[in-house]
Each structure stands twice: as C-alpha cells, then as structure tokens.
Amino acid sequence: MVTHQPDGTAPRGRAVMVLGCTSGAGKSWIATALCRWAARQGLRVAPFKAQNMSNNARVVPTADGHWGEIGSAQYFQALAAGVAPAVQHNPLLLKPEADTRSQVVWMGQVDPALSALPWAQRAQPMRDLIWPQMRDTLQSLRAQHDLVVIEGAGSPAEINLMDTDFVNLRVARAAQARCILAVDIDRGGAFAHLYGTWALIPEADRALLAGFVLNRFRGDASLLHPGPEQLQQLTGVPTLAVLPMLRGHGLPEEDGAWLDAPAPVGAAGRSVPTVVVLAYPRISNLDEFTLLAQHSGCRMRWARCAADCVGADWLVLPGSKHSLADLAWMRQHGLDAAVAQHAEAGRPVLGICGGLQMLGEAIVDPDGLEGGSGDAADAPHLHDAPGLGLLMLVTRFTAPKTVRPCNGVFGAVPTGPFAGLQGVAAHGYEIHLGQTVPHADAAVADAALPVLWGQAGQPLGWCHPKGHVMGLYAHGLLEDPQLLHALWPTRAGVASAGYEQVFDRLADHLNAHFTPGSLQALCGLD
C-alpha cells in the first residue's frame, strides 16, 4: 500500500519492475498481467515505462488538454490496471524511421529538436533535461497509486549504455522497485542469461532483484532441477516462477515480434476468406490486427513479396511510419503489381492511414517532412511519388502531425465487399502526417467517394465507386467486433474475445505459476 516517506513528504506507492535479459523476453505481457492481477486485489495501479521504442502507438490525452501518443504496450497496461491511459505512463516514445534515425515523442508530442539529433548527441540533453522530468512523473504516479508496475527495456546489463540508460536501473533506483528478471527459456541458455545479467549489474543494484522468472517453458518443470537452486546459491536470488508457454494469449506483441510466427487461422472446417496484410519494413500500428488474426470469420496472414499474395481474397495495406519509403519498397518487390492485379479482378483492397495514402494518385512531400529513404540516415529525401492509383486522391505532407481520437458512422457505401459497413459506428484514432484530398483532375465517375466522416465534417475514409477499394485514416477500427463481423461475418454465437478477457487470462496465468505468496510480496500485500 502507499507508504509515507522517512522525510515526511507525500506518501508514495510501492513499485515493482519487470526487467528482461533480452528484448522479447516477455516483459510487456508480464507487466500487463501484473497490472491486472494487482488491480483485482483492490490496489490502485498504474503502469510506467520511461522510454519505449516502437511504431505501435495509441492516442491519449495530455496534461494540457490536447492529444498525444504513447506506446501501445503501456496503453494496454493501463487498461489492464483499470485506469485511463495517459502520457505519464510512457513519457518518452521513440518511433524508428530508419535504422539510425527515430522520431522523438516527449510527453505525447513530437520534439523536433531531439528528433533531429543523431543518436550519440541525444544522451546529454536526455540526461540533463528529460530525466529529471521523467523522474518527477514517476514519483507523481507513485504518490497517486498504491502500486506502479514498471516495464524495463531490452536488458539492464547493456554495459555500453549503462551511463546513459534511464529506462532500467536508474528508474529502479529512483522508485526503489522490487525487480523481477525474466528470461525466454525457449531460446535456450536461460541460466547463463540470468547469471550473466546479474553479474553485469552493478553490485549495489543487485539488491533490487527480488526474483527470476523463466518464461515460455515447454515440458516437465521438474527437469529444471537443480538449475534454479544452483542459480540461487550463486546469486542469492530465488526463481519465483516457471511460466509455461502461452501461445495465442491475445495481447498484441511489441512491433514485429509476431510477424515471424504463423497467424492464428479462422474456424476450422469452414470456408472463410483469406485476408493478407502487407508487411512492409516501416509498418506501424500493426498491433491493431491482433483481433483480426483471432477472428473466426476469416484467416489472416502476412505478405512480404508478391508470391505471398497468391490466393488472397482481401488485401490490406496497413499504416506506415514512412509511406514514401514503404511505397518504394513495394515497387521493388513487385507488390504494387500484385495489389493492382488483385483490384483489377474486383477483389477488395483496404488501406489504413499510410496504406490509404499509398492507394491514391500521388504523395507529395515538398519539404521532406518524412525524412530520408528509411534505409540510411544519409539517403536522399523522397520528396514525392506516384501512388498506386486505385483511389483518386492526393496526399500532401504538411505540419503539424495529426494526433487525435476519431468517432463517426459510415455513411452510404457502394454495393460490394464493404457494403456491410453502412451505418456501423466507428471508434478509432488518427496518427498521421499529411492531408488527403480528391485529385483535382478526377472525373466525377472516377472520384473517390467519402464514406466516413470525422470532426467538423472532415472525411476520414473514401471508397472507389465500384465498391472494391477503400481507404481509411482511422486506426483501431479492426479492434471493434461489430466492424469485424460486418466485413467478415462469423457464425451465430461466435464472437471475438475482447481485451478484458485477455487481461484476466494473463493474470490467471501468473497467479497459477508464481510461487505461493510471491506476487503478494512483490505488490506489498504480504
């Protein structure tokens, strides 16, 4: 529970932190599960991740009444904790635009000055300016909640980054967090990973480690003996949990971690359409396809080349952090021709945000606002490019970036695969650079028809008059069971599981496999 400080200052809640030996160790879902487990115990819980690097982002309110971005992982952790997601839950978000360049989002808003700095030159301003405010944000959350569940990033033992890393040990020290260190045992070498990470952590910080977690275990846990016992003898740190492999848990994975795994398929033994989503290099907000991948009304898979599109009933062009670069990549790999052939055959094509922009006649970027090619920091700017020409629209990149929630209702939709959307309510969010308008030379017969309206009557979606191609600026619509059913009907009585059930299932998984009493001790309930 919230405890008073020795100096008599405001009471602050306990903090528990999930660290990992590597990226992909399961930190995000374990933190989400902890948020739900603690909330079910009656605690006031908030998530926190000092810095996230992801092109999966959600729209949340800022302190000054505007709208900003945070990483999707913290958005879902807040929902699991039962609190409204806010920028304080993820103060710093890095959105990669190329291998050596990223957009810096601080307290929900793009920071142009930090974004323009090379990686090596960001360390000092972040340490001197960002860290004090980030620390204050963390302490404010602790003052308002019984428990703050903190997620680390990568590994706390990256010795080349130890002096500048304020995502792991510096946060742990500031919060005096009880830390658990997770490892993906399915990869092998788990005990070496745990011991090596412990050994590289400064000795004074090892006292913060409350326990090890062996994640994604398959088989008979008794065969691990005497590994955990020997590890505890070497480090003094107990193993608190051996978590069995939990496939298809339903929580969106961070970035592309799930692209390499087969997507869940629709209902077995039933003929359902195949939905193919193009996976270009700078894909963004791919987390919004999690429920689609689990939807029983279709089968979903990813495509990285033209051959992957063979047999597709639907093609989906998702969002992109760099629309011009991803459009060029599509042309290099023949995916532009695959999309054109698919549309010429009258089969449905859906573009979302950056995908909508690519479906138009042209993308114009006279000021180079999207930056370089997306492949190298010194690559020449891509100022404009012809689109795929499937919708008579033109996108021009202009500042500022649009970040806001959006609500509306689909109006008249031409007869065809999207006709079921007519009258369906739409609840989503916009995160995009650029404005899209009808092409000036568009003939009335070929014009894109607005079908979804946003704030102040602004169109957020257009459809081809033949009804087979649609583009939407709104993210998140494919997380709505009603909209999913409108596009890909399910059998009577079969509905997509919502995230509330996912959060409870994850919390139950922790509860069943942590040693008795260890979760209570971590969360201050002992």
Inter-axis angle of helices 499-513 and 27-40, nearest 10: 90
Greatest alpha-carbon span in the chain: 77
**Cα–Cα nearest to 14, from 110, 98, 139, 126:** 139
223 alpha-carbon distance from chain centroid? 35
Q: Which of 432, 475, 509, 513 is catalytic?
A: 475
- With H, G, I as helix, E, B as strand and everything else as coil, classify residue 24: coil
> Could you tell me the two tokens for 171?
């946060």
Rounded distance between C-alpha atoms, residue 361 and residue 187, angstroms: 46
DSSP 8-class letter at 330: H
Rounded distance between C-alpha atoms, residue 75 and residue 69, angstroms: 10
Rounded distance between C-alpha atoms, residue 466 and residue 414, angstroms: 7
Rounded distance between C-alpha atoms, residue 70 and residue 85, angstroms: 9
Rounded distance between C-alpha atoms, residue 183 and residue 188, angstroms: 10
Rounded distance between C-alpha atoms, residue 88 and residue 484, angstroms: 32
Q: 332-350 in b/e burial notation, b at 16+ Cβ within 10 A?
A: ebebbebbeebbeeebbbb
Q: Which of 35, 179, 298, 353 is catalytic?
A: 353
Q: Which residue has the tokens 């919004």?
A: 288
> Could you tell me the two tokens for 12?
């602050």
**Cα–Cα nearest to 354, from 458, 256, 261, 279:** 279
Neighbouring C-beta atoms of residue 48, cutoff 10 Å: 27
Report, in this order, helix, strand and coil percent for the chain, each rounded to 5. 35, 25, 40
Name residue 185's amino acid.
I
Q: Where are the beta strands (DSSP E) in 293-448?
A: 299-303, 314-317, 319-320, 349-352, 362-364, 384-386, 393-396, 402-409, 425-432, 435-438
Q: Which residues pair with 462 in a beta bridge?
A: 450, 471
Q: Are 348 and 469 in contact (CB under 8 A)?
A: yes
> Could you tell me the two tokens for 152?
């680390």
Determine whether 353 is an active site residue.
yes
Query: What does 65-117 look like in DSSP terms, one character per residue?
Result: SSEEEEEHHHHHHHHHHTS---GGGSSEEEEEEETTEEEEEETTEE-HHHHHS
Rounded distance between C-alpha atoms, residue 20 and residue 28, angstroms: 10
Rounded distance between C-alpha atoms, residue 498 and residue 357, angstroms: 30
Determine whether 463 is an active site residue.
no
Q: Which residues pair with 301 in a beta bridge?
A: 276
Active site residues: 353, 475
